Amino acid sequence: MTQYLLAVHMVDGEPTPSDDEMQTIFKAVDEFNAEVQAAGKWVFAGGLMPADIATTVRHRGDAVVLTDGPFAESKEQLGGFWVIEASDLDEALEWATKGAVACRGDVEVRPFQDEPEA
């Protein structure tokens, strides 16, 4: 079975959901999480704090430079993620569809690289 990252993207400048809408989203995501866990597909998941509080660590020659803020100046940033086990891309896309509906956000699907054989 392959592990897939289902990455939730948030877009800066889009209207912020109301408190009631956020509670509805939280409930839907909790239900989605429970469904993934019950199906035995759950590996790990988490939400992230806003990108504007990030610190980026860059390696430049012999120096390491710390910069306040996200790695890329972009309107779209990673807001959270799931790592799931799926038999193939089609199954991962089915889970991502349910996740996108639950969180009312865009979800990118990417497989993890295979481990090199020893």
Q: How confident is the model at residue 109 (pLDDT cuts 50, 70, 90)?
A: very high
- Quickly name the fold that domain 2-111 has: Alpha-Beta Plaits (3.30.70)
Q: What is the bridge-based pairing of β-strands 76-86 and 2-11?
A: antiparallel
- Say yes or no to pLDDT of 118 above 80: no
Per-residue pLDDT band for 12 (boundaries 50, 70, 90) equals: confident
Question: Which amino acid, residue 1?
Answer: M
Is the pTM higher than 0.85? The answer reads: no
Annotated domain spans of the chain: 2-111
Checking if the pLDDT of 53 tops 90, the result is: no
What is the average pLDDT score of the chain?
90
Nearest Cα to 46, choosing from 79, 80, 97, 77? Answer: 80
Strand ranges in the chain using DSSP code E only, listed in sequence order: 2-11, 42-47, 55-60, 63-68, 76-86, 106-111
